[in-house]
Structure 1
Amino acid sequence: MAEHVIVSGHLTVAPEARDDYLQGCASVVRAARAAPGCLDFAIGADLVDPGRINVFERWDSRAAVEAFRGDGPSDEQNAALLDASVAEYDVGGAARPLGP
């Protein structure tokens, strides 16, 4: 089976800046979801921490991640970050669906 890549973690911004930060990410989410090899891509507000933004990406290969990643966040987005904890994980093996 081909190895997939998951990118997961969170970003921290000032609570009053979170909505603007997320609005600035909408075009990135649309572009990622349209990119070859993207299986899922989500950036969203945390339900309990007003300064936290959760990140989840699933790609069919490392090459797909690297082709999309490009230059990364804009200077304006980087300036808004107070902290970031995001990592890439190589995943092999079959998926096990959960739920009904």
Structure 2
Amino acid sequence: MLIVSGWIKVAPGTRDGYLKTCVEVVEKARAFPGCVDFAVSADLLDPDRVNVYEQWQSEVDLDAFRGSGPDDDQTDMITSAEVARHHISSTGPA
């Protein structure tokens, strides 16, 4: 199991536009083989922050989906990011 989580900062005033560009990506990811969950959402406290959460069955599945990464329009809106892969060896109820 693999978790990808973190945050992305976008240029002031562009978060809603950035999130609109993510709708199709979320739809495609959730339909992609090996995707368990995929979410991109507005942060409740920081108006320029977008939270990222992905859960994949394997690194192979994630890499197959990733391809070339975000398109140029998305990349232009991003000012900084801190997103990491977490390899999970076991899971259980919270």
Q: Which 5+ residue runs of structure 2 have no aligned equivalent? A: none
Map 1:1-100; keep pairs closer than 5 Å.
4-93=1-90, 95-98=91-94
Runs of 4+ in 1 over 2 A off after TM superposition: none
Count of residue correspondences: 94
- Which protein shows a greater Rg? 1
Listed one character per residue, the Cα deviations across residues 36-88 of structure 1 (whole Å, up to 9, x for unaligned) are 00000000000010000000000000110000000100011111101010011
Separation in 1, partners of 2:93, 2:28: 26
In the superposition, the TM-score normalised over structure 1's length comes to 0.91
Root-mean-square deviation (CA, aligned residues, Å) is 0.7
In the superposition, the TM-score normalised over structure 2's length comes to 0.97
Q: Give me the identity figure in percent.
A: 49
Question: What amino acid is aligned across from residue 96 of structure 1 in structure 2?
Answer: G
